[in-house]
Chains A and B, each alone.
Chain A
């Protein structure tokens, strides 16, 4: 089965840029999606199809995907961005959903 690997944690100071990676075998050939989850809440889609933003998601959230690594970039980080972030792909070979293990973003 397809495996997505994320760092358990990322820390960044307010106003700086946070980059959260998602590794997978030839992930650049897949569409990668990112979710933000705050404590006690359901996940919220923040980036889909590698780099598109749903309506209502701030431009500070962006994504890229190439080779074996996809990246979620959060610019001008704010305290309110502190959350768990999950990457996700759809494995077309098995027709299964796959999530990364999640990354906890801490705003220092």
Chain B
């Protein structure tokens, strides 16, 4: 059974960079596409972007200028960096695997609060 687990700081200061890591277990990271999705408190889901096992990426245009997703296949991890954060970036951040066109495995999510 594939499992994903997010990790990283739960509090980030405004203007700094949010950094999260997703660890994949129970399956190979060297296939599929690996995604980040976020959900502000009380709001809906927003797709942030993906990285493929080969390292190709694609990002939501609304975040593209601030987002970097990378992968470390040796550690079965992929990571999210979001720069110049503001309070609007406060959200639960999920990592998820995409099979064909749907997200079949999700992490439990991690709340990141942007506050001084």
Contacts and interface: CB of A to CB of B under 8 A. Distances in A.
B44 A102 contact: yes
Contacts of A44: 106
A42 B109 contact: yes
A42 B102 contact: no
Interface in B5-49: 35, 37, 44-47
A99 B106 contact: no
B101 A45 contact: no
Nearest to A95: B58
A48 B102 CA distance: 7
Interface residues of A, number: 24
Interface residues of B, number: 21
A41 B45 CA distance: 13
A43 B45 CA distance: 9
A80 interface: no
Interface stretch (A10-18, A66-74, A84-92): A84-92
Interface in A36-54: 41-45, 48-49, 54
B43 to A, nearest CB: 8
A89 to B, nearest CB: 7
A96 interface: yes
Contacts of B107: 42
A1 interface: yes
Interface string A94-108: 011111111000000
Nearest to A101: B44
Contacts of A95: 58
Closest 8 CB pairs of A and B: A97-B47, A90-B101, A33-B102, A42-B106, A102-B44, A99-B45, A48-B102, A101-B44
Interface of A: 1, 31, 33, 35, 41-45, 48-49, 54, 86, 88-90, 95-102
Interface of B: 35, 37, 44-47, 50, 58, 60-61, 94, 98, 100-104, 106-109
